[in-house]
């Protein structure tokens, strides 16, 4: 069952029960008040009848016989009651337990026997009776005439009260049905408007589940439903971003495998070709040396690429064990490693280092900085200078590698850190590159909770800025 119908049914039930209780107690209270009014009226009427009988008895001969008294009372009652009783009241005058007068049309009426008694003089007794589909109030008064009991009994028809109550019940039922129908229609319209945004959100969620990640909820109700829609939109944005990241990751991995396969194919083809040439043909000494040089250079290239790939995967997958060390030690390691390669190309390294303490894996950080300087070497011309600077900046240590080389075009800056990406592939391969240096450096820096930024201008050079968190110098360890 839809939520709107649940709301409708619950409201109809509550409305019906609530109105039913209200109507029941109102009708019951009205009936009670009307009944009490009729009882008071019947008692007052009986008082009048009793007074009339007793007044008539004052003129009676005290020496008269019992039969004479009965006849006298009957005549007096007939004369007196004709003007003071209502049409719906039946009167009984009982003398010494026998009915001497009644205006009842019922033969052998047994009503007096219900209330003939020797009660205390002046007291009233009444009962409510139901007979032949009608309702009556029977009131009895008691007195003595010469030590003989005298009862004046009045029987008043109050059926109209019960008929009125039944009419009220029927009217209330009809009114209840009309009110419930009208309110149900109104509640149906209201619940549709209230639950409409929820149904809209349900439809949007269904579309999102079917793969339409761009769909969003546009609900402006100013209440909890709008808050729910906003939360849904935030969730959808987050999911879409994560899915997009996963897609990009998958694409990068696929591209990584494709590029790595391509990078392996070229040197392997050269190695196989020259090896086959040496194996199957008689070559001159110069040609043998040339073929061997090709095999050696391509093998070194494969070795360098596999080493960098190992470091790349090692940095990306392993939980790095961080230890504090001084920046001086880091710079010293890097300088010793890059010095031979720089000398081969007659490139000088200008170093300035402000000492500080860094936590991390000194081997991996050395590898990342060596890759940055090696990239600068490949982009620089002979006789140029590479700047390798380090300085503290509050809670970070900033390391800069700057060259005056060929620079990187603006359109390549966003992709330069991708695996196997090379701006000038022919130059990079000639220098022994495989497009993994910057990717490896970036992964290592990220693993140390640092940042790596590249600034470059074609023809003027490139600046790579690495920011790493620093420690208190008192935490520095001296062990290697």
Mean pLDDT by 10 residues, the chain (480 residues): 78 88 91 91 86 75 70 75 70 82 76 67 78 86 78 87 91 91 87 79 82 80 80 85 83 66 66 82 82 78 64 56 87 85 86 88 81 84 90 88 83 58 45 55 82 85 89 46
435 close to 422: Cβ distance less than 8 angstroms? yes
Phi, psi of 97, rounded to the nearest 5 degrees? 85, 0
In this predicted model, what pLDDT tens digit does every residue of 221-257 receive, in sequence order? 777 777 888 888 888 888 888 888 888 778 767 766 6
Q: What is the pLDDT of residue 435?
A: 45
Q: What is the pLDDT of residue 388?
A: 92
How far apart CA 80 and CA 234 sit, in angstroms, is 95
Q: What is the pLDDT of residue 305?
A: 60
Give pTM, 2 decimals. 0.47
Spatial CA neighbour of 401 closest among 449, 465, 459: 465
Q: What is the pLDDT of residue 342?
A: 85
Q: What is the pLDDT of residue 25?
A: 92
Q: What is the pLDDT of residue 297?
A: 73
Q: Which residues of 311-339 are buried (b: 16+ CB within 10 A; e: fewer)?
A: bbebbeeeebebebbbbebbbebbbeebe
β-pairing, 98-102 vs 348-353, is unpaired
Using CA atoms, how far residue 8 sits from 188, 192, 193, 235, in Å, is 6, 10, 12, 31
Q: What is the pLDDT of residue 314?
A: 55
Q: What is the pLDDT of residue 78?
A: 72
Q: What is the pLDDT of residue 307?
A: 64
Residues 6+ apart with CB under 8 A from 366: 330, 333, 334, 337
DSSP, collapsed to helix, strand or coil, labels residue 223 as: coil
């Amino acid at each position: 069952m839809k939520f709107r119908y649940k709301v409708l049914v619950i409201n109809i039930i509550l409305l019906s029960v609530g109105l039913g209780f209200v109507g029941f107690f109102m009708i019951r209270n009205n009936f009670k008040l009307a009944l009490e009014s009729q009882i008071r009226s019947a008692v007052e009427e009986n008082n009048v009848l009793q007074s009339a009988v007793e007044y008539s008895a004052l003129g009676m001969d005290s020496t008269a016989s019992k039969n004479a008294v009965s006849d006298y009372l009957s005549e007096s009652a007939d004369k007196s009651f004709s003007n003071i009783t209502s049409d719906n009241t039946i009167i009984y005058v009982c003398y010494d337990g026998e009915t001497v007068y009644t205006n009842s049309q019922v033969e052998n009426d047994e009503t007096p026997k219900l209330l003939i008694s020797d009660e205390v003089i002046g007291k009233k007794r009444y009962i409510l009776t139901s007979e032949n589909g009608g309702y009556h109030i029977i009131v009895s008064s008691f007195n003595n005439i010469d030590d003989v009991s005298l009862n004046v009994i009045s029987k008043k028809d109050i059926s109209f009260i019960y008929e009125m109550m039944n009419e009220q019940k029927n009217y209330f039922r009809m009114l209840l049905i009309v009110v419930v129908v009208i309110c149900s229609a109104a509640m149906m319209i209201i619940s549709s408007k209230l639950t409409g945004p929820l149904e809209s959100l349900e439809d949007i969620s269904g579309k999102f589940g079917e793969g339409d990640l761009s769909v969003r909820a546009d609900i402006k109700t100013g209440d909890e439903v709008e808050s729910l829609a906003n939360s849904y939109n935030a969730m959808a944005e987050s999911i879409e971003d994560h899915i997009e990241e996963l897609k990009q990751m998958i694409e990068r991995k696929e591209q990584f495998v494709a590029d790595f396969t391509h990078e392996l194919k070229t040197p392997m083809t050269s190695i196989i070709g020259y090896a086959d040439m040496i194996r199957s043909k008689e070559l001159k000494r110069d040609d043998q040396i040339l073929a061997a040089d090709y095999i050696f250079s391509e093998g070194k290239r494969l070795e360098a690429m596999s080493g960098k790939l190992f470091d790349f995967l090692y940095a990306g997958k392993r939980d790095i064990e961080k230890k504090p060390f001084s920046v001086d030690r880091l710079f010293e390691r890097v300088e010793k490693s890059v010095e031979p390669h720089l000398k081969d190309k007659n490139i000088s390294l200008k170093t300035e280092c402000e000492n500080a303490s860094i936590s991390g894996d000194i081997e991996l950080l050395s590898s990342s900085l060596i890759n940055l300087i090696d990239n600068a070497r490949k982009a620089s011309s002979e006789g140029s200078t590479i700047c390798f600077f380090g300085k503290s900046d509050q809670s970070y240590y900033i390391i800069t590698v700057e060259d005056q080389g060929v620079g990187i075009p603006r359109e390549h800056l966003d992709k330069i850190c991708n695996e196997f990406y090379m701006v000038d592939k022919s130059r990079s391969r000639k220098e022994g590159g495989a497009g993994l240096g910057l990717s490896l450096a970036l992964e290592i820096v990220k693993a140390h909770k640092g940042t790596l930024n590249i600034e470059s201008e074609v023809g003027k050079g490139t600046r790579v800025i690495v920011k790493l968190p620093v420690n208190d110098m008192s935490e520095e360890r001296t062990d290697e």
